[in-house]
Chain A
Amino acid sequence: MRAPLSWIAEFVKPGLKPAALADLLTRTGTEVALLDSRVARFRGVVVGRVNTVIKHPGADRLKVCKVTVAAKGAPLTIVCGAPNVAPAQTVAVALPGARIADGTVIERASIRGVESSGMICSMQELGLGSDHAGILVLGGDLQPGAPLDEALALNETIFHFELTPNRSDCFSIQGLGREIAALTGRAFWPAVADVREQGKPAQQSVSVRIADRKLATRYVARVVRGVRIGESPQWLKNRLEACGVRPVSNVVDVTNYVMLELGQPIHAFDLAKLQGRRLVVRPARRGETITLLDGSTHALPVGVPVIADAKRPAAVAAIMGGEASGISAKTKDVVIESATFHPIAIRKASQALGLRTEASHRHEKGPDPATVRLAADRAAQLLAEVAGGAVAPGVVEVGRPPVGPKLIRVSLATLAATLGIKVPAAKAKGILERLGFRVTGTPERWQVAPPTWRVDVRLPEDVTEEVGRVLDYNTFPKTLPSSNLPPVVLPPAVRLEDTVRGFFIRSGYCEALTYPYYGDQHRQLFGLTERHVEPVNPLSPDQAYLRQSLIPRLTEAVGRNRPAREIVKLFEIGSTFVPTGTKVAEQRVVGAVVLAPDAVRVLRGVAEAFFQSGGVAAHAGVTGGMLTWSVSGATAARLSVVPPAATHAFKLRSTRVVAVLEMFLTPLAARWRTFAPFVPFSHFPTVTRDLAFWLPADQPFGPVIEAVKRVDPLLKDVALFDIFTQGTRTSYALRFTLQSETGTLTASDVEGVVNRARTVLQQTFHAAARS
């Protein structure tokens, strides 16, 4: 909501500089996001009135104009090339010496033999917009000679409010004025309407009815006859523009003006176009359609509240009027609508139609029900003033006038205890009364009646907030709650995430975050064919599914890094979503991807070192092309390689295997040992021996090394340190590390163990010694 200070000042004189006022409002909950203080821009640009326009004697496209630019004195001769210049227009004239928006200084000049003493300006030349097709035509009410800054109210201070949805009262200039008056203690002048009625009563022209009380509670209509449709006077246009509303025509502008001023949306119908001269608030019926003022046509969902005439919907209630019943250049008699609709009904309709307007926005929040009549009167008054209409006597009205507010029982002691401060009763009462609340009874049992415009205040806590916010929380002492709580411990699953994160980072992996959703391409490339959880409203097709695996997006991220990198190691900890029947299993998962030489062994090494660090016995096995670790029967981790199609699609290096790992934290957390058990180590020296041998190339090596490790307990480690393939056979080189707990090993101890290993290799696996 934007509000020019000059308009606010019609309701209250704040007595503060704009910046101080903005600060006060912000600190008390009516946030000023931006203070737009405009300064004079146009020195030497004034309002002019075009007297005559004749064709230039020496140029087809130029015109010679006589323009009055002062209350007294002779008109100036100005040569103008704009196609739209015409006698009687009020225009902006840059006098000789004036500087226009692009920096040009206007000078007296002879244009094709005619002396020109200034320039009639377009929007673009004034820097007010991009329109340069013709000159800017101003409201006819402006006085020639007036500086343009003043005429267009350009040296205005405009408050840009960031309002919260509960404060519907502040979505109006009057409401903001009232709030400022309460905060500053200054006098508040509420809006009044001064309606001069004439002609036959309004009831003779139109009837109104509310067919469904769940849609609206009150409907007030006024009739203004004999209006002349045209442009609004400049003061009205200026105010709308300062509030960010585009002026349209005098009747439409008046409805917008009253909405901005009082917060009550107003609609204007062309009386002549209302079938049966009646207005009925009712739900839309099956098959009804409407073309709205913005030109869009809608099939109306059944039940959407409409304002219908005798035959068809004339407006979608509280949202937008219909084109057929709307104001046109030929409109003579106008019906003004001011009504209280049911906020939820309007909100549902607005969502069903996908239409949000300034009016629906306000109706959803619930404008002050007591303003309905005033708004109708104000609109009628202004129509008479700016469009020359005659206001018909009386209003046509149905529905209940607003009922009295529900009383809130408030104890001052509870109020003060909630805030944590001492508040004298008189002070709290004074604050509430300035805000328009009525307070009766004793401070132990105050009865608080909120004003009609504060539909958001219903509970004692709401009243507490009103007192607290005006006192300004920044003046309160800062205390800490008393503590009598048990010690804080991390849930084991959360702690394990920390452990994983630390382990991977220490192991040289970078922690990434990726989007928790992916698209069809990711699913296809990684064979994720199971059913996925799908958002109803994904932001894009490649975010159509909630992830079941962290791998697709992590692999994609590796691909993005690939052009500049030979080695990429990424990991992520996050949630996955797997549908199970009518529910969804949400799991915390670790994903890791490695692009590096020997990627599978690199990643396997990290996984197994991690399990070991937590004292977890994980059993590895190969199933379905994956290396799987299980812990107590549950799958704890899976290691595989990126499918070739994905390698290609994500532009990974095609000749190199990219390894991926997924770890599931729940089974690991159950077995994790926070305090790793110490195992005593031997103080005797270690001895190493190397052994190289050939195996058939199709022999998996895992069982081989496992068998070798079981040969003798003196073998503390068996490490594969070299591997290469020649034709149909592969060479493996193992390094044995031997050590005893009880003494120094002799050469024959060592040879004995190595020979037994050699025997197992030859007899069980048909290994051939490599010389």
Chain B
Amino acid sequence: MTSDLERLAREARAALNTIRETAGLDAWAVRFLGRQGAVASFSKRLATLPAGERPAAGQALNRLKAELRHSLEARRAEVSAAAFPAVDLTLPGLTVERGHRHPVTALLDRIRGIWMSLGYRVHQGNELEEDWHNFTGLNIPKHHPSRDLQDTFYLQGLPGHVLRTHTSTAQLRATAKAKPPFRFVELGRVYRHEATDASHESTFFQCDGFAVDRDVRLTDLLGTLTRFVETLFERKVTVRFRPHFYPFVEPGLDLDLQCILCGGQGCAVCKQTGWLEMLGAGMIHPAVLKNMGLDAKRWRGFAFGMGVDRFAMLLHGYRDIRLSHSGDLRFLEQFD
């Protein structure tokens, strides 16, 4: 019996190794492992053996059955692998049909995320604003030279209204129902009545924010802006604070960023100064605090603002701001 089993095993292995296709494997399985197959006929012979030999013979038969099944699966894998077509790994990839995010809104999103992480609530105001919220309430009275800083669109039949020239309007809008201490940020579209060219647009995006508390200091503003810039760039950057005039803050200042293109050596983009003006900021003017409904003796605050489009230009390296509103896919498809 044992020698017969060994013969059967040799025969089955030899037959399996010559098979090259699936149909042959199926026939082999019927011949050796089928209900009427060779292994099955051995099972019947077990009963004829003396009782003492049966367990050993039974175990040997089971081992053979398992081995043949395993060999069959292995051979099946080999046969189907051989049937696989050849793959040319050097073929070019197919174009991905995907959408793209506008670089300016992508940057707005990134900026917003940083301010939110610093505890600033997001306000969304209207683009068509009242003169008071855009100017007078922000300490920019009528017939004052500081109005010249922002050329303005006025609207027919809507006296006392403008297209907002800055998102600083949030200082009066977001605070109308809020109780201090608070921090707010607003990001959105603003308008300037300005002839358009490669570096000027009549509409673009800004981010403005402010914080009011009892003990807010100018050094908090310096620290906050530095934290913001370093989070945005994800590294230490060299900044410079420069006193500046904005009617709605006092003291007022600008944050200049060491030119990220030339590293401060001076280039065409930074107009040879080595610095890029990035943010305007300051301590909220007492007149504005009063217009927020706050007592300037008890509350102090700081405010800041930045244009986003020019910054997107700088980061991505495009030189014509008008591309932003072109809807040109050759532009849009280059970004995220």
Interface of B is mostly: mixed
Query: Which of B99, B213, B218, B252 has the most chain A CB atoms closer than 10 A to its own CB?
Result: B99
Instruction: Point out the residues of chain A lying under 8 angstroms from B157, CB to CB.
Output: 534, 579
Which of B189, B202, B223, B271 lies in contact with A33, CB distance below 8 A?
B271
- Is the pair A511, B218 in contact by a Cβ cutoff of 8 Å? no
Which of A29, A462, A477, A493 lies in contact with B124, CB distance below 8 A?
A493
CB distance from B285 to the nearest CB of A (A): 7
- Asked whether any CB of chain A lies closer than 8 Å to the CB of B265, the reply is no
- Is the pair B243, A479 in contact by a Cβ cutoff of 8 Å? no
A584-B157 Cα distance, complex, nearest whole Å:
11
Of the candidate stretches A48-56, A502-510, A677-685, the one touching chain B is A502-510
- Asked whether any CB of chain A lies closer than 8 Å to the CB of B89, the reply is no
Instruction: Point out the residues of chain B lying under 8 angstroms from A474, CB to CB.
Output: 240-241
| Proximity string of chain B (149-162) to chain A, C-beta cutoff 8 Å, 1 when within and 0 when not | 10001111110010
- Asked whether any CB of chain A lies closer than 8 Å to the CB of B98, the reply is yes
Interface residues on A, range: 35 or more
- Is the pair B124, A461 in contact by a Cβ cutoff of 8 Å? no
Q: Can you name the residue of chain A whose Cβ is closest to the Cβ of B195?
A: A539
- Is the pair B240, A27 in contact by a Cβ cutoff of 8 Å? yes
- Asked whether any CB of chain A lies closer than 8 Å to the CB of B295, the reply is no
- Is the pair B240, A483 in contact by a Cβ cutoff of 8 Å? no
Q: Can you name the residue of chain A whose Cβ is closest to the Cβ of B105?
A: A511
Tell me whether A513 and B128 are in contact in the complex, defined as CB-CB below 8 angstroms, given that A29-B243, A165-B145, A420-B217 are known contacts.
no
**How many chain-B residues does the 8 Å CB contact rule pick out?**
81
- Asked whether any CB of chain A lies closer than 8 Å to the CB of B54, the reply is no
- Is the pair B219, A537 in contact by a Cβ cutoff of 8 Å? no
- Is the pair A568, B329 in contact by a Cβ cutoff of 8 Å? yes
- Is the pair B181, A485 in contact by a Cβ cutoff of 8 Å? yes
Instruction: Point out the residues of chain A lying under 8 angstroms from B158, CB to CB.
Output: 533, 582, 584
Of the candidate stretches B20-28, B70-78, B319-327, the one touching chain A is B319-327
- List 5 A-B pairs, Cβ < 8 Å: A33-B271, A465-B250, A476-B222, A511-B100, A537-B193
- Is the pair B219, A478 in contact by a Cβ cutoff of 8 Å? yes
| Proximity string of chain B (245-267) to chain A, C-beta cutoff 8 Å, 1 when within and 0 when not | 10000111100000000000000
Residues of A whose CB lies within 8 Å of any CB of B are 26-29, 31, 33-34, 164-167, 343-344, 347-348, 364-365, 417-421, 459, 461-462, 464-465, 468-469, 473-474, 476-485, 488-491, 493-494, 498, 501, 504-516, 533-539, 543, 546, 553-554, 556-558, 560-561, 565, 568-570, 573-575, 577, 579, 582, 584, 586, 588
- Is the pair A459, B241 in contact by a Cβ cutoff of 8 Å? no
- Is the pair A491, B124 in contact by a Cβ cutoff of 8 Å? yes
Q: Can you name the residue of chain B whose Cβ is closest to the Cβ of A539?
A: B202
Instruction: Point out the residues of chain B lying under 8 angstroms from A507, CB to CB.
Output: 99
- Is the pair B99, A508 in contact by a Cβ cutoff of 8 Å? yes
| Proximity string of chain B (262-296) to chain A, C-beta cutoff 8 Å, 1 when within and 0 when not | 00000000011100000000010110000000000
A512-B333 Cα distance, complex, nearest whole Å:
10
- Is the pair A478, B217 in contact by a Cβ cutoff of 8 Å? no
Instruction: Point out the residues of chain B lying under 8 angstroms from A505, CB to CB.
Output: 98-101
- Asked whether any CB of chain A lies closer than 8 Å to the CB of B328, the reply is yes
Q: Can you name the residue of chain B whose Cβ is closest to the Cβ of A27?
A: B242
CB distance from A91 to the nearest CB of B (A): 35
CB distance from B152 to the nearest CB of A (A): 8
Instruction: Point out the residues of chain A lying under 8 angstroms from B226, CB to CB.
Output: 478
A712-B255 Cα distance, complex, nearest whole Å:
67
| Proximity string of chain B (216-236) to chain A, C-beta cutoff 8 Å, 1 when within and 0 when not | 111110111011000000000
- Is the pair B324, A513 in contact by a Cβ cutoff of 8 Å? yes
Of the candidate stretches B8-16, B32-40, B115-123, the one touching chain A is B115-123
